[in-house]
Amino acid sequence: MPADGVLLELGCGAIHKTKLILAGLRKQKKPVRYFALDLSRESLVASVLELRSSFQDSPFITITGLLGTYDDCIAWLSGAKSLREYQSMTILWLGNSITNMDSPGEASVFLGRFGAACERAQLACRFVVSIDICQKDGKVKDAYSGPELRDWLLNSLETASLALGYDAFSTDDWRDTTWMDNYNRTLHVCLAARRDVLIPLPSPVNGGEAVIIHKGQHITMIRSGKWKEESVGDVCEQAGFQIQQRWKDDDGDYCVFLLGQET
């Protein structure tokens, strides 16, 4: 992390990881301005307050919250005159979030948009992204199975019923299942209907008509990419970035990549 740089985190839910990173910068006594972006005001306020409390003794770290979407952040960054005194922007995108895009091509476009925004702000742009790179399908599926996950999936049906105001979903009508899209190396965790399910909707929604979900039809609840390392390189290259450094776990299932713009 360059001194007098800006550190921008896309999504600030993993506060433990952020604390470790900022603690490392505090030890190095590097002046850094940290921005946390989040879509949830409640989550953002809680995270910023906790971080400020943890680093209130450090004169080197400034912590600011940004409320909004990725698009909001790109627009802000493009015209951020307050950042002109800085030389570089390092963007943290952790938790395998980059693979949640609809496709690797969309991820490239996303990286490129942030890179272009940094150029307009006259900031050198770097990304630190973490990605699941495990290519063992059995191991991947085992990580997304078990009673805890099933309970979480079925709880989403109960939450949907609460939002609609009546018991629209019965958990007995659904089972959990997974499948791997090998072309995009993306795991889909789904709920599948055990039988034809008729879901009546309130009158403001779809004219109050019912929706039929047929037996065997899937509703995707989780989508998580498990990209090959060479695919990561392709995604970066298409966005005008290159992999400058990488750190992997002992099993080679998880990797953190440092990406820099091509010169």
Tell me how many domains the chain contains.
2
Tell me: do 95 and 19 sit in the same domain.
yes
How far apart, in whole angstroms, are the C-alpha atoms of residue 155 and residue 174? Answer: 11
Whether 152 and 112 map to the same domain: the answer is: no
Place of tokens 């990580």: 143
Q: Give residue 33's pLDDT.
A: 92
Q: What is the pLDDT of residue 262?
A: 78
d(C-alpha 101, C-alpha 154), whole Å: 24
Position 179 scores a pLDDT of 92
pLDDT score of 237:
94
240 and 220 part of one domain: no
Q: Helical H runs in the chain?
A: 15-28, 41-54, 70-78, 104-120, 137-143, 147-164, 229-238
| pLDDT in the model for residue 206 | 54
**pTM of the predicted model over 0.75:** yes
- Whether 12 and 40 have beta carbons less than 8 Å apart is answered as no
Q: What is the CATH number of the domain that holds 29?
A: 3.40.50.150
* Number of Cβ within a 10 Å radius of residue 104: 19
Residues 9, 124 within the same domain: yes
Buried b (16+ CB within 10 A) or exposed e, 167-180: ebbeeebbebebee
Q: pLDDT 10s per residue in the chain (263 long)? A: 777 789 999 988 778 889 999 999 999 988 889 999 999 999 999 999 999 999 998 998 999 999 999 999 999 998 877 777 788 899 999 989 999 888 889 999 999 999 999 999 888 899 999 999 999 999 999 999 888 999 999 999 999 999 888 888 999 999 999 999 998 899 999 999 999 999 887 765 556 678 899 999 999 999 999 999 999 999 999 999 999 999 999 999 999 999 999 76
**Pair 32, 151 in one domain:** no
DSSP string, 80-119: -GGGTT--EEEEEE-TTGGGGSSSHHHHHHHHHHHHHHHH
What is the model's pLDDT at position 230? 92
- Residue 261 near residue 125 (C-beta atoms within 8 A): yes
Looking at the structure, tell me whether residues 126 and 58 fall in a common domain.
yes
Q: What domain range includes position 129?
A: 5-134+227-261
What is the C-alpha separation between 140 and 111, in angstroms, rounded? 26
Burial class (CB in 10 A: 0-12, 13-18, 19+), 229: middle
